[in-house]
Amino acid sequence: MKVAITGGIGSGKSFVCERLQHFGIYVYDCDKAAKMLIHTSIDIQKQLSDLVGTNIFVNGKLQKAELASFLLHDKANTQAINNIIHPAVAADFEKSGYDYIESAILFDSGFINRIHIDKVICVTAPINVRIQRIVNRDQITSERAKEWINRQLPQDEVLKRSQYEIVNDGQRDLDSQIQAIINNIEKLSK
């Protein structure tokens, strides 16, 4: 059974995926895969340079600030970037052998249509918690964090399309939520 883990920026998806390792479940990380492919694929680098401009790479290194500025300038830019990166990530996942995949924009970008997924787990957190996590992690303003959150599908919409929810609010026990979901998925797999 193929399982996707999703949720908005700052929801704590990556932390939940780390916890899954304690249950013997290893998760394919779309963000890490995308970064690796951007740094190793000459084809992707050329497509990004053609789209964004040659200043997107300096001495072979991706200029994250340049990319962020391009993405925030226009919503269509995000889709254009996704159209370059997602096919490569989907192909890499399909041949990876992983059963679990983490993707922040599983539904937003149509990535779910590029891969086979049986069940979706949505990691949720209150908006104020998400903003604070983003501010602390990325060293940005709360206004910028809200911009990033608003660029994604609303949390309640993602939850409606998911079969499971893990509430990562810092109050509820994550491991018991994870264990219950794993038990249910294992039961369905038999």
Instruction: Count the helices and strands in the chain (H runs, E runs).
Output: 9, 7
Residue 13 is labelled as binding a ligand: yes
Strands (E), the chain: 3-6, 27-29, 57-58, 61-62, 100-102, 119-124, 164-167
Per-residue tokens: 120:
């979706």
Which residues are CB-contacts of 56 (< 8 A; sequence separation ≥ 6)? 48, 49, 62, 63, 66, 67, 70
Per-residue tokens: 161:
């399309």
Residue 10 is labelled as binding a ligand: yes
Residue 110 is labelled as binding a ligand: no
Q: How far is CA 82 from CA 14, 15, 72, 94, 115, in A?
A: 20, 24, 14, 17, 14
Which residues carry a binding-site annotation for ATP? 10-15
Which residues carry a binding-site annotation? 10-15
